[in-house]
Amino acid sequence: MIKQIRNFCIIAHIDHGKSTLADRLLEETGTVSLRQMKEQLLDDLELERQRGITIKARAVVMRFKRGNVEYELNLIDTPGHVDFQYEVSRSLACCEGALLLVDAFQGVEAQTVANAYAAMEHDLHIVPVINKIDLTHARPDEVAEEMMHSLGTDPDDCVRVSAKTGQGVDALVDAIIDRIPAPTGDPDAVLQAMVFDSNYDDYRGAITYVRVMQGTVRKGQKIRFLRAGTTHEVVELGQFAPQRVARDELVAGQVGYLICNIKSLGDVHIGDTVSIAGDNAAAPLPGYSRPKRMVYCGLFPSDGQNFSDLRDALERLAVNDPSFEFEPETSDALGFGFRCGFLGLLHMEIVQQRLENESDIDLVQTAPNVTYEIINKRGETITVHKPQDVPDPGDIEEFRQPIVRCNIIVPTDYIGAVMKLCQERRGIQKAQEYLGAQRAMLTYDIPLAEVVYDLHDKIKSCTRGYGTLDYEMVGYEAADLCRLDFLVNGNRVDALSIVCNRADADRRGRAVAKKLKSEIDRHMFEVAVQAAVGSRVIARETVPAMRKNVTAKCYGGDITRKRKLLQKQKEGKKRMKAVGNVEISQKAFMAVLSEAEGG
């Protein structure tokens, strides 16, 4: 019955114990036997287990009997890293409640605050949970006070648990049943279900994860995806417990999966609405706002790899992860490849590793860059995803860069070091508030390009690992930016172009030119390596020519013989330089790109 269903997710900062708590809930409800139990059971991607982080949200159904009543608890385990915020927002739309998990030692972190506000925007009932109370240095009373100051929760409402030892988990299950409301929905109404995730199986086609809002869906029924406009027959449906378990029907309030033998990857859209086929279909649900891609880079197959293999791998991955996008592009230096957009640098790294691990493809990746806006002399606004698309300086009226609002939570001892770091990154301080006697939250507006590369690592370094960062997009602001090009033998190398602040252009130009000089093979003629802004060359290095001793055979005689040979060699080198072609090896590209990322 619908009043015995509870849909909830676990939200928290990274490393506060979401996946471990999910393991204990599975044990407490008897969903998984001790024989099948392993750590981080729901993290089934190989990459998740290697890194110890959750990348994909996972749904699981648990049956729990209290007294004579059996409850169905649908849990969605979510990632904690800021780059996977889109996964969290999709999970929140499918739930009525959320467990807000906070570490009993580390307390409220930046991502905790962001996730709590996201849950409030979705009108979810929040159950505050303090985890890791078994630690010898745990401070649950102080953390409950911090949560009251920053999130407005009542300290008496906090459920105290240890996900490692299982202490307090039985009280948490009772809190989930008592405090989280049952879903609203009529099993007899017209079918209306939301697609909140999907993945691709080579044998079954696209597997669609749905939350049924209204009505009932049965095996063998004809259904329609409203956004895609396609009709399919339900071949199999069921729930995750935690592996796929087939059922005969899913009713309003339940979470499960549908298999409809969908072979075309373009037919499945995250956020789509599933309804009945025909004219009496339900109204489409609002779906999800499109994720804002923050970072773009080029992905190219390395030597001897097939371009079409990379395209197939990207299409398969896009079904499972809708937060990244790709489009074909061509580079003079690297050949055919794709321009890909990501939510952040960790997201970019994860997608690249998944492509290499799951599809066995060797990739060459260009330097990542953020999206800029340019207003040209004609008053048109152009969105620029790659430096090659930046017009000539004479055609630019205003160059605008994305600004993000960063919330940085640090111990009070390190406030000065973090302020200095933010000011070096051209940050503007907006607020400073104390969460307790020992912790403060600093708010800065910083250009996104200064944040995505290594600000998170630098904050961790200068606060000895205690500082945490969360950021959200604010908008675009005008800045003194320019496109920095690199020319080898007079030809522009498009894959190395970057957009940077004009004040940094000289320093970065010299660093990359010096690196290129050491990486480019010597030729029979001099090779000029130049860094230029527009038509102005700001740095130059010269790769010296290889010398052949043409006068070795002259063992004496008149000096004019030697001069004639040297003049002939000089003219030959001049002719060779005019028609010569300098190829930059991929090894040289990788060395220069890693140098550019490093700053």
Does a cis peptide bond (omega within 30 degrees of 0) precede residue 242?
yes
Question: Do 296 and 371 touch, CB atoms closer than 8 A?
Answer: yes
Query: Is 360 annotated as ligand-binding?
Result: no
Query: Is 2 annotated as ligand-binding?
Result: no
CB neighbours of residue 480 within 10 Å: 9
- Angle at CA of residue 433, ends 430 and 435, nearest 5°: 150
Query: Is 199 annotated as ligand-binding?
Result: no
**Structure tokens of 67?**
């007294």
- Which amino acid would we find at residue 479? A
Query: Is 115 annotated as ligand-binding?
Result: no
Give the residue among 204, 271, 246, 197 at the shortest CA–CA distance from 61: 246
Say how many CA atoms lie within 13 Å of 337 toward its Cβ: 22
- Which amino acid would we find at residue 400? R
Query: Is 222 annotated as ligand-binding?
Result: no
Question: Do 158 and 147 touch, CB atoms closer than 8 A?
Answer: yes
Distance between CA 144 and CA 158 in Å, rounded?
7
**Structure tokens of 309?**
């293999």
Query: Is 320 annotated as ligand-binding?
Result: no
Query: Is 15 annotated as ligand-binding?
Result: yes
Could you give the C-alpha distances from 426 to 432, 446, 480, 501, in angstroms and in order? 17, 6, 12, 10
According to DSSP, the residues that pair with 77 across neighbouring strands are 10, 58
215: left (phi over 0), alpha (psi -120 to 50) or beta: left
What are the contacts of 44-53 at 24+ separation with CB within 8 A? 45/354, 46/357, 47/350, 47/353, 47/354, 47/357, 53/14, 53/79, 53/80, 53/81
Query: Is 134 annotated as ligand-binding?
Result: yes
Q: What letter does residue 321 receive in the DSSP assignment?
A: -
According to DSSP, the residues that pair with 527 across neighbouring strands are 543
Q: What letter does residue 107 receive in the DSSP assignment?
A: B
**Structure tokens of 168?**
């307090």
- Rounded to 5 degrees, what are φ and ψ at 138? -65, 150
Binding residues for GTP: 15-20, 131-134
Binding residues: 15-20, 131-134
